Structures are given as structure tokens and as C-alpha cells.
A and B are shown apart, each in its own frame.
Chain A
């Protein structure tokens, strides 16, 4: 690794006038912020092989710098012609150039090389944590549907960010995939669709950004549905059935769930309350607006994440309907804020099987502070975000690295884990408005229902 970082530029900088002064990890922000998200074992193997070859090549290279440089240049040019041109010129090329030489055997050599540079900045103790990356559309698998390509890009750039938005986008894109699907001759949809059509899409999406748990749940449902079809089911009927499943899913688990949760949560807000929340979460915002519509008069205290600043948008939309807002740009005033609040309303990305929250980094700090001050901590979450298979007690088990904050001098995890002891209750669409229950109760309910979406 180290030799690559130091030797690689030498080979190529000479023809480019030695303009490169920054060390390798200090990637310019515009560079493709790519990294290996979740590589299949086969890919990893290929990558390892490629690395080894590259290293060998480097050793030779140092002996004949000029020759190597020329060779590298030609390779780089060749790659550039392949559609990698948008990646900012000499720097990335000078880095990637010589490494291409050794790694031509890989399936997507250029990506593997780029990701190497990006991930090299990650401290060793966090090296197990995946990170979203931008894959040039030209390098995606040929079977990836255009609709999926688009949302993959949007997810990698965090244009589609929270778990439900990602889930919805995925389902709608899969809808398009199903609509345009035609079973090849001699095949049946139930046997052919998943391995040859659906899996490449999922693989691509996972590569762009690690899947969120709601997506995992939904995909499992979809696959189960496909498997349910008899091998003789006519294609039209099967497609019709799948589309219907997706529509029903979006209606029930997303649209309706959001409505019910907001309605139930809004009932928990009383006149004169001061509700503390963190950042901007769709469900929390909905709840506030609904409570205001119901005539409740209350204040909202927003603690924002200075790396995200979604709280400012929330503040604005609340201000427009006449809710008084206190805005803290960071966790600095946490103690005072918690003391002022009557209860705390939090959104989350997912809830693990042990009742831990997987939520935006900073949520845990607020939940702990609120619990220490004996304030109610209420979490809003759709049941689709419950993961019944994973258990997490600390934030380093399942997490993601923020690709925007992954330079030599800054590192950031996107999520943290809040233990269930810091949570008073969870409001989901299962509740009939009687209040909130611990996450474990909902998990038990999910198990009992044997909900088809969460087949273990």
C-alpha cells in the first residue's frame, strides 16, 4: 500500500511536470469519492490479485522510469477514452495510470484502483466500515437498468439519503425493471428473473452505497414473491403480480405508515410542550406539522448537525406554520437544551433486533443526555426499518463512513447506535395511538405476525 502511494506518482509525474505535491490520500473533493462498499468474495480475490500484480509492476517500473511512464500514459489515455474523462485530469490519472498496468485483468479495473486511493485514508481501526462511492455509469455492469443506474448515482451522492426515500426509489426503479423485463425463450420468470436481472441491480446499488435495512427487507419480500410463482405461471401474470406487490408495499409500509405514525406521535404533543429533536427527520417534521394543524401550541428545540444542517430546513418549515423554534447548530448546548425540553422526539434509520437505534450520528448523545435528565425519549420508525437479524451494541459494528469527510485530516461516521435503555418508546404504524412501546415489543409483534416481509 505504502509503496504504491509513494512510488506510483513518480512514474508519471515526470512527464506532467511534477505538478503533484499533495500526498495521495489528500484527494480533491471532486475526485470520484469511490471505495469498495461490499465486494463479493470473488471481487475481493480479483482485487487482491490485481494489487499484487500492480506491486510487481511497480518494482520493475522504478528501474525503468521513462519507459514505465510512457506505458502508463498510454494506458491512462486509453482509460480516459473509456469515459473516465470527467474525473479531474492529471491528478487522478497520475495516480491511477501506472496501477492500471497491473490490474487489467480485473473486471472493473479503474474503479478498483480509484477506490484504493480513497480508502487508504481510512484509519486502520475503522477499515472494516463500508463507504458509499461513485461509480462512473460507464463502469457499471451491463445489465444494470437505466432507472437503477440513476438512483445508484443519487444514493452515492446522498441526493437520496434517508432509508425510506432510498427504499421508495429502489422499489419504483425495480418497478421499471419488471415492466421492461422479458423472459428469454426457454426460461421461466420465477427461475430467471432474480439471478439474472434483479441481482445485478442489487449488486450495483450495494456498490454505490451499502444497502439500508429497509431495502434489504423489501428485496427479501420481492424475491420471496418471485419464488412463490409457479414455474408455469405466465409471464404477464407474474409481472402483474410483482407490480401489484410493489404498489401495495409502497402504499402500506411507506405512505400509510408515515401517516399513521405522524398521527400517533402528534397525539403525544401537548400544549406548552418544548420538544427537542435532532437534525431533520421526515417523520418528526410530519408530526410537528400535524400537531400544529390539530391546534397544539408548542415550541420546538432543534439541535442540528453542523455537517448536515438539515435542521435549518426543518426550522424554516416549522416557523412558517407558526411554531416557535430554538435552534442550536451543534451539540454544544445539549445540557441546557435537554433541561428546557419536556420530551425528545427522534427519527431513526433502522432499529436492530436488540432494540438499538441505528440513527444519524449524534442521536445517541441526545438520547443519553435526555435519559440522564429523566426526559422521555420517543423514537419514530416504520416497521420496515426494523432489522430482525442484526444485533448491534456499538456503533462500529454496522456503520458507514461519510465519503465527504474522509480526508487525511477528517474522518466521520454517518451513524451511531443508541442502546435501548436510553429509549422510552418507539412509535410505529402498529400502534393504535395508545402510546409508545419498547422496541422489543414491536420486534416480538413482528415475529409473531410472521410478517412476510421479514422472513428470517
Chain B
């Protein structure tokens, strides 16, 4: 997480620091450049997106929910387009949009309630059934709109904000899904703003705590004496292993496809090794292309997912599917780690999974004949089909493939699932 301060290259840390000082547009642009240069990748994208959307909500001008949603969607799709290989960005955008919708409907309900008490004689005389408490559930709001229609006009007249917003409501792009929302007039933009900001803070907390929460399941998953194959351990996996090492004695195989870069002579997992060894856990780095050879010894395979698709397939670092396949051939369980924020209500895309990257570390550009001869395809992202994954270990606990749909439904609004990469009306 800690960005190397020594480097001059822009990094996530610097971006986050500069967020307050810069104008919103400048922040968005610099974030997009970081994404395009892949200076922000993986889990950091989620955090950065949340930060940026927080700025969008805090800084941009908006006077009603629809405007806000459009704004968030536009910025979101710009980000998602800048990094189509990071579906996680879209997830966060969807979460924030869902959050805004929730807060808005909650707001309106509260608003309804407030106006009703103001005109309670009217409603009493109507004897309409009405909620005693503001109901957060958006379903409840529809029948109410009928009974409380008169009170709308009362509240509109009372509120100065709404004097302005009437005009805006008319020409704001109204999506079909959010039509009922546009009728609702939030009494206070600033109240909504602060509630949404609070909600985003919660999402950011969720992201930052996900690793720890996942790690808390480590003891259940790892038994004493296990041989665990960790493929390209990410922060999440490292924390998981370290947590397990506190209570369990086991052996970790660390695997990756490529030999460590000649330039970095140090062991990339030296820190992890130190931590694991401190807990009495042995760590063995496997320097091998194929992993079948070791599978008969391995008890379980663990890696972290970059994204979990709605069919249960995973987007992973290149080579993790080789590990998963080898485990499957030997009937060893495959445990995929990833916070719920990585659950992506989309179908897997071949383009992203087959993404190819820099080939210079494989063929030296100095070797002309090889450069001419080889069409190097260095795949950097990979797709693991759902049937190869046994356990999805999330911050909400271990899940199975069959339960993924309900988790998706809990976290995303159906209106936002279709959030597309194609930029809306910018």
C-alpha cells in the first residue's frame, strides 16, 4: 500500500494527497492517466475510485438526484473506459450510484413523513395508512406517492431549493429507471450530500477492512500440517497467510510463472517470508512454469481474484488458472480470496482475460533476429472458469457459486447493473 515516496512517478498516494488541492476535472484527468499507465492497478483502483467519486459528489454542482446520478455515471464510465481491464472500478461506481438512489429514496420518505406531520389534519382526514417511521426500502415509496401527493406541493412551496430545482428537473436527462426519483424532491441537497459522503466513507472502510475480514477466516481454512500453494500472493493473500501462521503450523508454496526479474535481485516475498517464518511457517518459493509437479503434495490452492463475475468465473493474474486447473486435476480445493466489492455483475470478457502485456522481459530487444522471429504473446490477465473454483472467501465469509447471485443482488441496484462502459451523454 505504501507508495514509494522516492520515485518521481505519479502514484496513488500522491493522487490522493492532491485531491483536495486540485480542481475536480484535474483530479479525474490525473486519475485516468494513472489508470492508463497502470500506475494504479488491482485493489488500489477500488480505493481510488471511491475517493474520486467522493470528490465528485462533494465538489460538483448538483441540485437533484438525477443530476448527481448522471454526473457520477459520466465520471464513472470515463474511469471504467480508461481501465477496461479493471472491472472493479465499475463495481464501485455501481455501489455509489446505488447508494445515492438509496439515500434519495430514504430522504424522500423522510421528507414525506415530515410534510405529512405538517399537514396531518389533511392526512388524518384521508385516513390513509402511512408509515410511522421513514422507510428506507424503496419499494415502500411507490404506494405512498399517491396518498401524499398533496403534501408534495406544500413542501415544494416551503423549500427554497426546490424553487431552483424545478427548472433543472425538467431538462436533466431522465433515465427510465430513475423516473420515480425525479419526482421526489429532496428537501436538502446538503443533507443528501453528507449522507452520500458518509455512505462512500463506509464503502471505503469496507474496502480497507476487507483484507482483515477475509484473513479472519484463515484459521478455519488452513489446518495444521497443510501444504498451501499461494499463487502470486497479493496483499489479501499475504495477510491471510500471516494471520493463519499465528495459530497454525503449515507450509506455504509461493508460485509464479516467471523467474524474478534480473534487475530486482532481492526476493520479492522477503517480507512475507520473514513474517511467516516468525510464526513457524515454512515458505518455499517454487520457480516453475507448470505446477502439476507439486500438486500431489499440495492440500489447497489459494489466490486472490481481481474480479468475480456473475457466473462465478474469476478474473485473475495470468497463470492462476494454471494453478486452478492443476488443483482440479488432482481434486484439491481452490480458494479464491476477494472482498465483496470485487463481485462484478457482468459476464466474463475474453478481451480482458486474454490481455497481453510487455514482452521485453522475455526477448531482449538487442537480439534482432529473435525480435524479428517471435510474435510474443505475454498474457497478463487470465480467466478461471467457475467450475475450477471451490470456495469464494469474501469479507462476508466463505461463499459458494450458487450464492453469488444473491450477494450481487444485495449490493447492486438492478438499475445500475447495466452500467456500461460506453460513456453516457457527457
A binding-site residues for B, Cβ under 8 Å: 123, 125, 304-307, 309, 312, 315-316, 319-320, 325-337, 361-366, 368-369, 372, 393-396, 399, 402, 405, 409-413, 415-418
B binding-site residues for A, Cβ under 8 Å: 227, 251, 257-260, 267, 269-270, 273, 282, 284-297, 318-319, 321-322, 325-326, 329, 350, 353-354, 356, 359, 362-363, 369-370, 372-380, 382-383
Closest 10 CB pairs between A and B? A362-B290, A333-B379, A332-B318, A394-B296, A364-B292, A395-B293, A416-B293, A329-B362, A410-B287, A332-B379
> Contacting B325 at CB < 8 Å: which of A307, A372, A417?
A372
- 9 A-B interface contacts by CB (under 8 A): A312-B363, A329-B258, A330-B257, A332-B322, A333-B382, A335-B353, A336-B350, A365-B291, A395-B294
A433 → B minimal CB distance (Å) = 31
CA distance A318 to B270 in the complex (A): 41
Q: Given that A312-B363, A396-B297 are known contacts, is A361 also in contact with B290, CB under 8 Å in the complex?
A: yes
Please determine whether A399 and B288 come into contact, CB atoms closer than 8 angstroms: no
Please determine whether A362 and B289 come into contact, CB atoms closer than 8 angstroms: yes
Please determine whether B292 and A368 come into contact, CB atoms closer than 8 angstroms: yes
Please determine whether A125 and B374 come into contact, CB atoms closer than 8 angstroms: no
Please determine whether A316 and B378 come into contact, CB atoms closer than 8 angstroms: no
Please determine whether B374 and A325 come into contact, CB atoms closer than 8 angstroms: yes
Contacts of B377 in A (CB 8 A): 326-328, 333, 337
Name the residue of chain A whose CB is nearest to the CB of B268. A409
Name the residue of chain A whose CB is nearest to the CB of B377. A328
A450 → B minimal CB distance (Å) = 34
> Contacting A325 at CB < 8 Å: which of B273, B282, B369, B375?
B375
> Contacting A329 at CB < 8 Å: which of B325, B353, B376?
B376
Task: Give the interface SS of chain A, mostly helix, strand, loop or mixed.
Answer: mixed
A359 → B minimal CB distance (Å) = 10
> Contacting A330 at CB < 8 Å: which of B289, B296, B350?
B289
CA distance A373 to B293 in the complex (A): 21
Contacts of B257 in A (CB 8 A): 306, 330-332
Contacts of B297 in A (CB 8 A): 125, 396
Contacts of B383 in A (CB 8 A): 335
Not counting A335-B383, A362-B288, a sample of 4 additional A-B residue pairs whose C-beta atoms are within 8 angstroms of each other reads A326-B377, A331-B289, A336-B350, A409-B270
Most buried by B among A305, A362, A396, A415: A362
Q: Given that A316-B369, A333-B377, A335-B383 are known contacts, is A416 also in contact with B267, CB under 8 Å in the complex?
A: no
CA distance A416 to B286 in the complex (A): 14
Contacts of B295 in A (CB 8 A): 394
Please determine whether B288 and A396 come into contact, CB atoms closer than 8 angstroms: no
Most buried by B among A319, A396, A410: A410
Please determine whether B379 and A411 come into contact, CB atoms closer than 8 angstroms: no
Q: Given that A312-B363, A331-B322, A333-B356 are known contacts, is A409 also in contact with B285, CB under 8 Å in the complex?
A: yes
Q: Given that A334-B322, A365-B325 are known contacts, is A411 also in contact with B284, CB under 8 Å in the complex?
A: yes
B315 → A minimal CB distance (Å) = 13
Contacts of A412 in B (CB 8 A): 286-288
A409 → B minimal CB distance (Å) = 4
Name the residue of chain A whose CB is nearest to the CB of B370. A312
Most buried by B among A305, A326, A333: A333
CA distance A412 to B254 in the complex (A): 12
Contacts of B294 in A (CB 8 A): 395-396, 413
Contacts of B227 in A (CB 8 A): 125
A134 → B minimal CB distance (Å) = 20
CA distance A368 to B329 in the complex (A): 8
Contacts of A333 in B (CB 8 A): 318, 354, 356, 377-379, 382
Contacts of B378 in A (CB 8 A): 328-330, 332-333
Please determine whether B374 and A315 come into contact, CB atoms closer than 8 angstroms: yes
Contacts of A417 in B (CB 8 A): 292-293
Contacts of B273 in A (CB 8 A): 409
Please determine whether B293 and A415 come into contact, CB atoms closer than 8 angstroms: yes
Contacts of B362 in A (CB 8 A): 304, 306, 309, 329
A383 → B minimal CB distance (Å) = 25
Name the residue of chain B whose CB is nearest to the CB of A368. B329
Contacts of A312 in B (CB 8 A): 363, 370, 374
Please determine whether A411 and B293 come into contact, CB atoms closer than 8 angstroms: no
B306 → A minimal CB distance (Å) = 14
